[in-house]
Structures are given as C-alpha cells and as structure tokens.
Amino acid sequence: MRRDLPNLLSLRAFECAARHMSFTLAADELCVTQSAVSRHIRNLEVHYGARLFNRLTREVELTKAGLRLFRTVEHAFDAIESTSRELAPRAVKRSLVVSILPTLASTWLMPRLAKFTQSHQNIEVRLHTSIEPVSFERDGIDVAIRVGKPPAQRRRKGAPRIDLVMTAEWKGVGFDRLFADVLVPVCHPALLKERSQMSAAALKRLPKIHTDSRAHAWEDWFATQGVDYQAGARDLHFGHFFMSVRAALDGRGVALVPDVVVQDHLASGDLVVTSTARIVSAGEYYLLYRKERADESAIAAFREWIGGESASIAAAQ
C-alpha cells in the first residue's frame, strides 16, 4: 500500500524551523533561502489544512497542530539519525567553521590544531580569518575567537583600549574566556645594544611599529608608564599583528603586540622584550558560539579542547 506522506524535504524544513523557532536559522542550517523554507512550510500547511506556525512581528511560534507534528517528526528523525550512526559509524566528517583573528590563527591556533584533529578525526576544521564582528547567520560560522569585552563587563581603568568589536548582536551568543590580552614591547636583540631592558623614556626614542587594529596601543601603553607620547615620523604602521611582528624581526623598530603571538620568537631569542612592563589591555580573548548549539558534538569537543589549550597561558598570565 502506498504511503500517504507529505514532501519529505518540506518535513525537513519544518523540523529545522521548529527546532530553531526561526525560519532564518533554518535557512542557514539547510543552506537555502528563507523564502524556500517559508514555501516548504506553506506546502505542509496546505497538505494538512492547518496552520503550523503563528507568524509574529520578529519571531514565530508553533500552533497546537504544529507542536503535535514537530514532536512526531523530531522523534522520527532522531530514530533515523540513530540508526544511521549504527549502520555507518565511520560517517562523513562533520565540518567545524572557526572564525579567528589572523595573527592568532597563524601563531597560536594552527601549530596546536593537529592535536585536535588527531583526537577528533570525524571533525574537519575550517579556518576563517577576520577581525570583523562575528555574524553567525551571515558568515556560516560555528565558533569564533575574538578579543574584547562581553556585555556588561566594565573596562579596567587605564587599560589600553581595544577598538575591535567581537559581535554586533549578543542575543543568543555564549562565550568562554580563553586568556587575557597582555601587551609587550618586543624588538630584534640588536636594537637593545647589549642592554637587557630599557626605560619607557628611552624606548620612546626608538622607532615604534604600530598595528592599525590597535590604533591607540602605544599611546595607552606609554600612559600607563607616565610618559606622554605621540607617533613620530620614523614610526611604521601595519594592518595586522603578523606584519608588525615581521617588521620587528627585521629590526625595523619596537612592536607592541599580545604576548601570545610572540611566544615562539621570544623562546628562540629572535625577539626580546624591551621592558618589564606587561600591560593587560581592556579586553580578553573569548570563544564565541550560539548558545542553542553549545552542546552539539563538534562544538562541544572544540570548546573543551581549546579550553584546555588556553589554561596554561591563562595560568602563566
């Protein structure tokens, strides 16, 4: 006997929209347009002759009929998923899209990432480097690493400013603290001329290397040392920290950068810290994610792993 079932693609769209309580998030997950999701929902409503959602101004809610259908479909999909995992334990890898600041990606995360992939071979990590505010809906991001302040966190008085914005929309966004943003002045050993350290006043006379994403870093750092400062004609300006670090390695001046991005260069002696003043900025590094997806297997595994990797840095700070 032929089964009397609605379109299965429409059921999938409905289940996704009901689970997220959002046509927009359902469209993101299914990689289709919002209008396509709406069309699938309308097809089901025509099939059943009943409304499944109440469309409100900025959100949707299930009707009684919609809730009844969702419970049935959710149970059926869970059963299919469970059986699929039993039949194919070596299923296709899950992808995890990680948005991260460019320099932190190359100097800190990438050298460690092999450990994660070795222990989680079913997760394929894809890196997306950016300093822009995170938009999970727009960019298709699963998790993101940014530096700044979460909502309601006060800026420490006198701490160097961070102009970067972590995300423009905090609603529904969870965050895990990773470690502090500690700024250190570094240069090629030759610039110190046999001195182990130098005062802020002496450092002021050397060419400084500025990073555009932290336009006020040097000004604020000198302020913590009680020294007035304005950029000089010999100072250099670069767009990202990795460019500033490269210029410092080439002996072109003193760069003020987060300690986490120069750990290897300091350990090898290619760079040296010019001052004992390690200044904690107004922000910290955080892992951002959607709260509703926090316990998904790939995201949960990455959260646990990166928390462990960050612990040693946080302890040393």
Model confidence pLDDT, tens digit, residues 105-114: 999 999 999 9
Average pLDDT over residues 297-315: 89
Mean pLDDT (whole number) for 199-223: 92
Domains and CATH numbers, the chain: 8-87 (1.10.10.10), 94-179+283-316 (3.40.190.10), 181-280 (3.40.190.10)
Read off the pLDDT of each residue in 152-165 and give the average, rounded to a whole number. Answer: 82
Q: How many other CB atoms are found less than 10 A from the CB of residue 209?
A: 27
Phi and psi at 227, nearest 5°, equal -120, 130
Token pair of 215 as six digits: 């336009």
Residue 50 confidence (pLDDT): 92
Cα separation, 208 vs 107, whole angstroms: 22
pLDDT of amino acid 25: 84
* CB of 183 closer than 8 Å to CB of 258: yes
Looking at residue 173, what is its pLDDT? 95
More confident site: 106 or 195: 106
Please give the pLDDT value at position 167. 94
Whether 115 has a pLDDT exceeding 80, the answer reads: yes
| Residues 3-61: tens digit of each pLDDT | 888 888 899 999 988 998 888 888 878 877 888 889 999 999 999 999 999 988 778 89
Dihedral sign for Cα 161, 233, 224, 183, please: positive
Q: Is residue 232 pLDDT above 70, yes or no?
A: yes
Model confidence pLDDT, tens digit, residues 55-99: 887 788 999 999 999 999 999 988 888 887 777 655 556 889 999
What's the average model confidence in pLDDT over 172-184? 95
Percent pLDDT > 70 in the chain is: 96
Average pLDDT, the chain: 89
Return the closest-CA partner of residue 238 out of 264, 261, 220, 214: 214
- Mean pLDDT along residues 125-136: 93
The letter for the amino acid at 280 is: V
Residue type for position 29:
E
What's residue 32's pLDDT?
77
Distance (Å, rounded) from C-alpha 208 to C-alpha 197?
Answer: 16
DSSP string, the chain: -------HHHHHHHHHHHHHT-HHHHHHHHTS-HHHHHHHHHHHHHHHTS--EEE-SS-EEE-HHHHHHHHHHHHHHHHHHHHHHHH-TTPPPEEEEEEE-HHHIIIIIHHHHHHHHHH-TTEEEEEEE--SPB-HHHHT-SEEEEEE--TTPPPPTTPPP----SBS--TTEEEEEEEEEEEEEEE-HHHHTT-S---HHHHTTSPEEEEGGGTTHHHHHHHHTT------TT-EEESSHHHHHHHHHTTS-EEEEEGGGSHHHHHHTSSEES-S--EEEEEEEEEEEEGGGTTSHHHHHHHHHHHHHHHHHHHH-
Confidence of residue 303 (pLDDT cuts 50, 70, 90): very high
pLDDT of 294 strictly over 70: yes
10 Å Cβ neighbour count for 158? 10
Predicted TM-score (pTM) of this structure: 0.69
